[in-house]
Structure 1
Amino acid sequence: MPPKPTLIFVPGAWYPVDTWTKVTTLLEAKDYKCVCVTLPSSSTSDPSTTFLDDVTAVRAAILAETTQGTDVVVVVHSYGGLPGHSASKGLTRPKTLHPSLAVDKEEGYVIGFVMLASGFTMTGMSFLGGLGGKPPPSWEADTASGFAVILAEPRDMFFHDLPEEEGNYWVSRLEKQSLKALAEGGEHAYAGWMDAPVWYLQTREDRALPVLAQRMFVQMARNAGGDVTVREVESGHSPMLSRAGETVGVVEEAVADFLGR
């Protein structure tokens, strides 16, 4: 059996990188190497950070593994799908190359994606472009400050299925999100999910990205030729926090599938 791939985790907009800690702790106990990417657009409080900055950060994490001959699975949450997919351009495993034929290869590949409550990147289209050019009612584009500002009650939107104290903690940890990264940079967007298989974890109780929208996204991706396997979880928008064990189970199931192709 091929060696385990490195798992690279990409957070969503506003989310701090340590929202992945519950999941990575469980996976590291199972001998997976986990790399969590800090996105510049939501970690620097700098409104000038761009979508390309985010893509570059994810791509650097991927290349640090693939240049050593290690395969990679990219695990993305929400907005993290956009830089996660885009960063994989040219780095996915050729579909004619079975992993059993490449055990001693010098180069690793992105062999698959695991998506949590996320959207499918369209080549050439920014995050906001994928929303029709306007933010949803839950947040606004504050051009004066240069940040995307949450209008909804964040605990209800992101963490309603967590215990009150824990939910409030994560609300306090939300970062400022560069508007530029969400509104611009479409020329750097790439539909990497067309080049590698996807496992998608749909969140049935999601108040930020309703599950009906997630199901529609999946069907659109399949209609476009994407290879998408679906699992569902009784969770809000942050299953890596509220359903960490189930999320880990889906990641492991996905990895086994990717390695067997």
Structure 2
Amino acid sequence: MSQKPTIVFVPGAWHNISTWEKVTAPLEAQQYKCICVPLPSTMGNPSTTFLEDLDAVRNVILAEIAQGHDVVVVVHSYGGLVGSSAIKSLTKKPQSVSPSPTQPTGHVLGLAMMATGFAATGISFIDHVGGKPPPFWKADTESGFAVIVADARELFYHDLPEEEGNLFVSRLEKQALKVLMEGGEHVYSGWKDVPVWYLMTTDDRTFPVEAQTHLVQLARGGGGDVTMREVESSHSPMLSKPKETVEFILEAVAALER
């Protein structure tokens, strides 16, 4: 059995696990077990809750640590809120319950975050972004979905070749609105419990680099152990800069293992 940690990938809103394919293949070639978690909120059911997204990720992590495997969680965009919340009590934080022979023996070693914010315990996604949707999507309360109203290729994939960018636009899923508007009681600032590696996307048209920089500074000021790297990419570095993204993940995992 490989002693390398399992890497669990959490996509952003509207996105499915195909966004991770360019980075999981080279990581698996280096004998890392990679698990990409589909979020229930992207499966066409508008009644999906934030807790269902959280549990989908947490259950994958629990299954790995129950087998004695350590885990690194890689998150992107909205997935940062889910991943941070899902690791509650599963880290080596001193106040975590000590494992016994009948309890999990693995732990979450840390988070590798990209183009995302830092979860605040008890605060929903919509309250994290100021209480109303950003200009590029609207809350369609009639359908129950968050609807992108901007040019999705420009928003997420402007630095991909046009044909490939259009391909990933065609793969975008319906995003349940409820998970973005509610569920704050389940949000947890797990990034405070583990070391964090953060990949800043400097040509991001969805989440400007200035906002990312500000949030990293706030996280550090709030006690976060945050190591920052940069990549000149759109909001989707795993697609437009997969080599650099893989290098970032490998550097993060190596440091977290130590």
Aligned to 1:49: 48
Question: What is the CA-CA distance between 1:132 and the residue it aligns to?
Answer: 1.4
TM-score by length of 2: 0.95
Give the Å deviation of 1:95. 5.1
Which residue number corresponds to residue 220 of structure 2? 222
Equivalent of residue 175 in structure 2, options 174, 177, 201: 177
Quote the residue 2:16 is aligned against. Answer: 16
Deviation at 1:202, TM superposition (A): 0.3
Q: Quick one: distance in 1 between partners of 2:37 and 2:95?
A: 29
Q: CA deviation at 1:94?
A: 3.0
Task: Measure the CA separation in 2 of the matches of 1:181 and 1:3.
Answer: 35
The answer to whether residue 196 in structure 2 is matched with residue 198 in structure 1 is yes
Task: Determine helix, strand or coil for the equivalent of 1:119.
Answer: coil
Amino acid at match of 2:117: G
Which residue matches 1:102? none
- Matched to 1:14, the amino acid is W
Aligned to 2:100: none
Measure how far apart 1:93 and its partner are: 1.5
Alpha-carbon distance, 1:178 to partner: 0.4
Q: CA–CA distance in 1 between the matches of 2:116 and 2:132?
A: 18
Cα distance, 1:138 vs structure 2: 0.7
Aligned residues: 251
Q: Which residue of 1 aligns with 2:87?
A: 88
The DSSP-based 3-state class of the residue aligned with 1:123 is coil
- Partner of 2:62 in structure 1? 63
Q: Write out per-residue CA displacement over residues 135-176 of structure 1, whole angstroms, 9 at most, x where no aligned residue.
A: 111111111110001011000000000001100000000000
Residue in 2 that maps onto 1:245: 243
Report the Cα distance in structure 2 between the residues aligned to 1:234 and 1:221, rounded to whole angstroms.
22
1:29 corresponds to: 29
Note the C-alpha offset of 1:106: 5.7
Between the aligned partners of 2:243 and 2:26, the Cα distance in structure 1 is 8
SS at match of 1:247: helix
Tell me the secondary structure at the aligned position of residue 84 of structure 2: helix
The unaligned stretches of length 5 or more in structure 2 are 97-102
* Distance (whole Å) between structure 2 residues aligned to residue 196 and residue 141 of structure 1: 33
Aligned mate of 1:128, from 107, 115, 126: 126
Deviation at 1:182, TM superposition (A): 0.5
Secondary structure (helix, strand or coil) at the match of 2:78 reads helix
Distance apart, 1:259 and its partner CA: 1.0
Residue type matched to 1:34 in 2?
Answer: C
Quote how far apart the aligned CAs of 1:81 are: 0.5
- TM-score where L is the length of structure 1: 0.94
The 4+ residue runs of structure 1 with deviation greater than 6 A are: none
User: How many Å separate the matches in 1 of 2:129 and 2:34?
Assistant: 31
> What is aligned with 2:76?
77
Runs of 5+ in structure 1 lacking a partner?
98-104
Could you tell me how far 1:16 is from its partner in structure 2?
1.2
Partner residue of 1:233? 231
Instruction: Measure, in 2, the Cα distance between the counterparts of 1:48 and 1:106.
Output: 32
Letter in 2 for 1:149: V
**Percent identity of equivalent pairs:** 62
CA distance in 1, matches of 2:14, 2:67: 32
Q: Secondary structure at the match of 1:56?
A: helix
What amino acid maps onto 2:243 in structure 1?
G
- For 2:73, the aligned partner's letter is V
